[in-house]
Amino acid sequence: MDFALTEVQKMVQDMARNFAEKEIAPYVDQDEENHYYRREILTKMGELGLLGWSIPEEYGGNGMGWMEAVLALYEIAKVHTSWRLSVSGNCWGPAMTINQYGTEEQKQKYIPGLVSGEYVGSFAITEANSGSDVASMKTFAEDKGDHWLINGSKMWISGGHVSDVGLVYAVTEKGAGARGLSCFVIDFNNTPGITRIPINTKFGMYCAPTSELVFENAVVPKENLLGPLNKGFQICMWQLNNTRMGCATGAASLSAAATEGSVQYANERTQFGKPIGKFQMIQQQITEMKLEDEAAKYLVYHAAWLKDNNLPNQQATSMAKLYACKAAVNAANLAMKVYGSYGYSTEYPCPRWLRDAKQFETLEGTSNIHTTIVANIELGYTPNR
Ligand SMILES: Cc1cc2nc3c(=O)[nH]c(=O)nc-3n(C[C@H](O)[C@H](O)[C@H](O)COP(=O)(O)OP(=O)(O)OC[C@H]3O[C@@H](n4cnc5c(N)ncnc54)[C@H](O)[C@@H]3O)c2cc1C
């Protein structure tokens, strides 16, 4: 077993770190305060190839795989967790799914813009009354012969109101449950009948916009069906097994950021005539954070390695996501204690870490759902795909 990174991987890691420090770090505080989505960061990510993982080069992909992707995303999310969504929103969500299930025409039409950052991507599964139970969704796409007519609504969609191209999952056969869903590629700028409403009440992830989408007789061209009719549930599960790596990586990264910040603070802050890092109880907190952030990182690496080698990885992906979420929330919580009163101030990053860490327990399968996935595979009730 070789834990060393290749020269290319080190280069990718350095490049992403430099990018995040130069292009994202200077704006974190002001963008957090204004809940501002800095669109140009996505454009720059695209220019650097940071949105083109595991995508064939003929469609603009960067020729690299999952391990390079998680190394890069880890560096970006460490600086500002809101930006961890960009890779899932553009690459691992729509681009990769279109590459897997799309026609040649769909691939040529949509993938290059998603990986170059010309488009903002998104994927819409959740509805107000359909979260963990994906198959209970109600948004209906009616076959009108020469087009689809979509009615219904989606809730909590990352990037929804700023998105150019997205995947939307809808019912195509009523009463058939998971066997009656299909996936559509939506060109938001050219589809009448869609109202997009920003959700401005979020607890965190202030710089990653979230939206409600309302479809009222939205006319979608026939050729925008992605993959086979009524296979949307399988496509959705395939997509989630990819996009949830964004949560896993982002959570592991946030955990590391909180650990590193706490180490620095514990060395700088003195009480009773010595750095607080010299106190055993602070050391115990630092050790707990370090242990968990390292364990989370290696679970993420392992899932990425399995994906790169086309080996079954669903359980490893769920374990990485589940554990990294716990590590992130715990690290953010402990960091706030290490920083004392200053940890409770927005002049320091602790409140942002805690706010952003909490998202991970809900998105892309709640922690309960991932616990179920891991257990069902371990117990032999479902296969590990
Ligand atoms: C910031 C943000 C961004 C998001 N981005 C997107 C996006 O881009 N696209 C998208 O489609 N969705 C998105 N979502 C939605 C997210 O994926 C859902 O919120 C998530 O799937 C959970 O659904 P729910 O909120 O309806 O919770 P529910 O499913 O109602 O769950 C409520 C509680 O019940 C528990 N529960 C439910 N079923 C079970 C079960 N079988 N066993 C045990 N416990 C269970 C859950 O774990 C949870 O604790 C986003 C959400 C947020 C907050």
- Whichever domain contains 269, its CATH number is 1.20.140.10
Residue 23 annotated to the active site: no
Domain shared by 319 and 369, yes or no: yes
pLDDT of residue 353: 98
Which residues does 134 contact at the CB level (< 8 Å), separation at least 6?
125, 169, 178, 181, 233, 236
Domain shared by 213 and 332, yes or no: no
Q: Has residue 383 been placed in a domain?
A: no
Distance between Cα 131 and ligand 1 center (Å)? 5
Q: Has residue 385 been placed in a domain?
A: no
Q: How many residues does the chain have?
A: 385
Among residues 171, 196, 230, the one where a domain terminates is 230
What is the CATH number for 25? Answer: 1.10.540.10
pLDDT of residue 286: 98
pLDDT of residue 263: 98
What is the CATH number for 137? Answer: 2.40.110.10
Domain shared by 128 and 114, yes or no: no
Distance between Cα 133 and ligand 1 center (Å)? 9
Q: Could you tell me the mean pLDDT of each successive run of 10 residues in the chain, 385 residues long?
A: 95 98 98 98 98 98 97 98 97 98 98 98 98 98 98 98 98 98 98 98 98 98 98 98 98 98 98 98 98 98 98 98 98 98 97 98 97 98 97
Q: Is 167 in the pocket of ligand 1 (CB under 6 A)?
A: no
Domain shared by 44 and 67, yes or no: yes
**CA nearest ligand 1 atom 15, residue:** 156
Domain shared by 164 and 88, yes or no: no
CB 191 within 8 A of CB 68: no
Q: How far is residue 51's CA from residue 47's CA, in Å, rounded to a whole number?
A: 9
Q: Has residue 367 been placed in a domain?
A: yes
pLDDT of residue 63: 93
Q: Has residue 84 been placed in a domain?
A: yes
Q: Has residue 281 been placed in a domain?
A: yes
Among residues 230, 247, 277, the one where a domain terminates is 230
Domain shared by 280 and 161, yes or no: no
Q: Has residue 356 been placed in a domain?
A: yes
Q: Is 205 in the pocket of ligand 1 (CB under 6 A)?
A: yes
The predicted model scores a pTM of 0.97
- For 127, the domain range is 122-230
Pick from 132, 181, 235, 358 the residue to mutate for probing ligand 1's pocket: most ligand atoms within 8 Å of its CB.
132
Q: Has residue 294 been placed in a domain?
A: yes
Among residues 230, 262, 288, the one where a domain terminates is 230
pLDDT of residue 1: 86
Distance between Cα 369 and ligand 1 center (Å)? 9
**CA nearest ligand 1 atom 35, residue:** 368
- Give the CA distances from residue 128 to residues 124, 136, 211, 214, in Å, rounded to whole numbers and listed in that order: 12, 11, 12, 11
**CA nearest ligand 1 atom 12, residue:** 126
Domain shared by 190 and 144, yes or no: yes
pLDDT of residue 334: 98
Distance between Cα 98 and ligand 1 center (Å)? 24
**CA nearest ligand 1 atom 14, residue:** 156
> Quick count: other Cβ atoms within 10 Å of Cβ 245?
27
Distance between Cα 267 and ligand 1 center (Å)? 39
Could you tell me the two tokens for 64? 């690299």
**CA nearest ligand 1 atom 24, residue:** 131
Pick from 156, 196, 355, 376 the residue to mutate for probing ligand 1's pocket: most ligand atoms within 8 Å of its CB.
156
Domain shared by 95 and 167, yes or no: no
**What domain count does the chain have?**
3
Q: Has residue 331 been placed in a domain?
A: yes
Q: Is 132 in the pocket of ligand 1 (CB under 6 A)?
A: yes
Domain shared by 78 and 48, yes or no: yes
Domain shared by 43 and 173, yes or no: no
Domain shared by 180 and 281, yes or no: no
Domain shared by 370 and 239, yes or no: yes
Q: What are phi and psi of 210, to 5 degrees?
A: -135, 150
